[in-house]
A and B are shown apart, each in its own frame.
Chain A
Amino acid sequence: MSSAVQTGRFNVYWLLVAPALLLVLVLYAAPILNVLLLSFADPKPGLGNYYKIVESDTVSRLIFTTIRLCLITTIASVTLGYIVAYAMLHAFSTMRQRMMSILLISFWISVLVRSFAWLMLLGHNGLLNNALMAGGIIAEPLPIMRNEFGVLIGMTEYMIPYAILPLLANMQGIDLRVTSASRSLGASNVQTFFRVFLPLTRPGIVAASLLVFISSLGFYVTPAILGGGKVQMIAEYISVQLLVTVRWGTAAMLATLMLVSVLVLMYVLNRFMRLSTVFGGGPR
């Protein structure tokens, strides 16, 4: 082993990276590439699958629905996340730590459990509807879940922590003396916020929006459970194509489309904020 050390630092450290690299290369990158290639090869070679984007009503509607739901989710969760990040920025450190641990916990509670929780609370036979009907306030259960609105509630709630972390990282980099300066020069609080603070947080807003949008594109569990089969996004359609109708071509095409969008947006995001800050779970 010591002879390997003497041949040069570079080689030795490569040995440490190699096993993980090989594992990811052979058992991850290769299968992904395989799926991407399939979109040009199944059922017959060519761009046939890609023509479906414009030719097939189902596919184009699917893509449109996915983008629309992701955009609404992005706007809602970045707006709500901004409020929390703003409060966290101005909170005392013990309070901020408490808020941070709530974020951490919600970050790690399974998406399955969270979707199920919404179903128990707001579903057709859920606690809210049962209580309202028992109280004689409504005669029919309110249709909150098993539709687009239900999916949006679930997606937004899931995505809020993803919005908060980049926003907070950005806000913590702002020199708060500029807002004091603005106020001492006679600007009101509202003016100070909209003309001084908000523009300074623009990189954070862009990064948070990109991160939320990217992560929402692949949503599978939430729409499947809260949409009740009525709201189809790309991920669920892919699973039906593979597990029920066994048509790999269309599914592979949609996967390629999704993956390319995700990677391109990820590249853009990386220019706004180092990804390690985002994935590291806050600025540490």
Chain B
Amino acid sequence: MTPSRLRRVTNVAAWTILLVLIVPSLVAFPVSITSKTYLSLPWEGVSLQHFHNLFSSTEWLSSFGQSFVIAACSSAVATFFGTLAAIGLWRMTGRFTEAIRAFLLLPLMVPPIISAMAFYRWWVPLGLIDSYLGLILAHTILAIPMVVITVSAALANFDLKLEQASRSLGAPLPTTIRRVILPVIRPGILAGAVFAFILSWDEIVVALFISKFDVFTLPRRLWNGMRENTDPTVAAAAVLLICITLVALIAHTLLTRRKAEDAA
């Protein structure tokens, strides 16, 4: 085979695989606007009835709102603690620094099912089961590694001399952080916040274990919907879930692009 033909074959194969990664997930879009009441492509007519069902259902709406509140809160808290921790780890030297970093990344490495059972068992005596606080705390902990990773990546490009200059000119640490470090690493922090938000927004396994009636997130309702009945309202909800994730990702892309331009 000539190099160009070999190259072409691998290119076609690669694009096919990449399309399989993304196209099936998009099938929810056409299905959500079918005029039928069962899962089908909208060959015989387009209708927004399933979105109408979705937005007129108090159950779906409350799940949507709950998911949003929980994702926003846990993203904010995780971003705060995760950023502080990343800055601390960045300037710490010592035998334990790498061990502490690995420890803080633990929630990302442990399989979600194990996190879920651990939270479940621990939340019962604390009275946190089926409460906003319980789910926000759990999602915060799961999201901290995301923030630590993105902020650490931003700090890796940070010129240490800036921090030293600020400190040697007499600025106390809180001022140095607020006025010197934070402005420079802001894109990294925002990226961490976005990832933390998506993580909570999509999270299902822990939610299945520690929420029951009062707290019922969007993924949780989607989960029930797709196991019980498969009507296109579930597809419409899936579209909603994907769209919010995509909006967050686009925001992230714009942020990193600006960072790249600043660096140039």
A residues whose Cβ falls under 8 Å from a Cβ of B? 1-2, 4-5, 9-10, 12-21, 23-24, 27-32, 34-35, 38, 80-81, 83-84, 86-88, 90-91, 99, 101-106, 108-114, 116-121, 123, 125-127, 130, 157, 160-161, 189-190, 217-218, 220-221, 225, 234-235, 238-239, 242-243, 248, 251-252, 255, 258-259, 262-263, 266, 275-276, 279-280, 284
Which residue in chain A gives the minimum CB-CB distance to B19?
A102
24 contacts between A and B (CB under 8 A): A9-B91, A10-B93, A18-B88, A19-B81, A20-B81, A28-B107, A31-B119, A83-B17, A88-B14, A109-B25, A110-B202, A110-B219, A113-B242, A114-B25, A119-B230, A127-B27, A218-B112, A220-B205, A238-B113, A255-B117, A258-B113, A258-B114, A276-B149, A279-B105
* Cβ-based interface call for B47 (8 A): no
Q: How far is the CA of A34 from the CA of B119 in the complex (A)?
A: 10
Contact of A108 with B21 at beta-carbon distance under 8 Å, contacts A31-B122, A259-B110 already known: no
**CA distance in complex: A88, B113 (Å):** 34
Smallest Cβ-Cβ distance to B144: which chain A residue: A20
**In angstroms, how far is the closest chain A Cβ from the Cβ of B202?**
4
A165 to B148, CA, bound (A): 20
Report the Cα distance A284→B167, complex, angstroms. 29
CA distance A281 to B54 in the complex (A): 35
| A1 engages B137 (CB within 8 Å) | no
A44 vs B234: C-alpha distance when bound (angstroms): 44
**B21 near A106 (CB under 8 angstroms)?**
yes
A265 to chain B, nearest CB (A): 10
Task: Judge whether B21 and A19 touch: CB under 8 Å.
Answer: no
- With A110-B241, A112-B219 known to touch, is A189 a contact of B144 (CB < 8 Å)? no
B26: which A residues are within 8 A, CB to CB?
117
Asked if A1 and B13 make an inter-chain contact with CB atoms under 8 angstroms apart, the answer reads no
Q: Would you call B184 an interface residue if the criterion is a C-beta within 8 Å of the partner chain's C-beta atoms?
A: no
Query: Does B162 sit within 8 A of A, measured CB to CB?
Result: no
Per a CB cutoff under 8 Å, which of A225, A251, A266 touches B226?
Answer: A225
| Complex-state Cα separation, A161 to B41, whole angstroms | 28
Contact between A34 and B111, CB atoms less than 8 A apart: no
Q: Out of A9, A27, A81, which one reaches B141, CB within 8 Å? A: A27
Task: Check A220 against B21 for contact (C-beta < 8 Å).
Answer: no
B35-88 CB contacts (< 8 Å) to partner A: 38-41, 81-82, 84-85, 87-88
Encoded as 1 (CB less than 8 Å from any A CB) or 0, chain B from 9 to 37 comes to 01101110110111011111001000000
Mark each residue of chain B from 139 to 177: 1 if its CB lies under 8 Å from any CB of chain A, else 0. Answer: 011001100110011000000000000010000111000
Whether B118 sits at the interface, judged by CB under 8 Å, is yes
Which one, B14, B39, B88, contacts A86 given CB within 8 A? B14
Supposing A34-B122, A121-B27 touch, asked if A242 and B84 sit within 8 A by C-beta, the answer is: no
Question: Could you say which residues of chain A place their CB within 8 Å of the CB of B110?
Answer: 32, 259, 262
A-B contact sample (19 more), CB < 8 A, given A5-B172, A20-B81, A235-B113: A9-B91, A14-B88, A23-B144, A24-B103, A24-B104, A38-B121, A83-B10, A99-B18, A102-B18, A109-B25, A126-B39, A189-B2, A189-B3, A221-B223, A225-B227, A262-B110, A262-B111, A266-B109, A276-B152
- Interface majority SS on B: helix, strand, loop or mixed? helix
CB within 8 Å for A243 and B209 given contacts A16-B84, A21-B104, A109-B245: yes
Whether B28 pairs with A113 at a CB distance below 8 angstroms is yes
Complex Cα spacing A160 to B109, Å:
18
Q: Is B182 an interface residue (CB 8 A)?
A: no
B100 within 8 A of A: yes
Given A27-B122, A105-B22, A19 and B85 contact (CB-CB distance below 8 Å): yes
Within 8 A of A (CB), among B89-105: 89, 91-94, 100, 102-105
When chains A and B are docked, how far (Å) is the Cα of A212 from the Cα of B78? 27
Whole-angstrom CA separation of A220 from B174 in the bound complex: 43
Q: Are B92 and A17 in contact (CB under 8 A)?
A: yes
- Identify the closest chain B residue to A113 (Cβ): B238
Decide if A221 touches B40 in the complex (CB within 8 Å): no
Point out the residues of chain A lying under 8 angstroms from B152, CB to CB.
276
| A17→B205 contact, CB < 8 A | no
- Chain B residues closer than 8 Å to A32, beta-carbon distance: 110, 114-115, 118
Which B-chain residue is minimally distant from A12 (CB atoms)? B173
Verify A80–B82 contact, CB threshold 8 A: no
Known: A116-B222, A218-B113, A242-B209. A87 touches B10 (CB 8 A): yes
Determine whether the beta carbon of B24 is less than 8 Å from that of A121: yes
Whether the Cβ atoms of A280 and B109 lie closer than 8 Å is: no
Answer yes or no: B264 CB below 8 A from chain A CBs. no
The reply to whether B222 and A157 form a contact with Cβ atoms under 8 Å apart is: no
User: With A16-B87, A28-B118 in contact, do A161 and B21 touch (Cβ < 8 Å)?
Assistant: yes
With a 10 A CB-CB cut-off, give which of B102, B113, B119, B204 has the most chain A CB atoms: B113
> Any chain A CB within 8 A of the CB of B216?
no
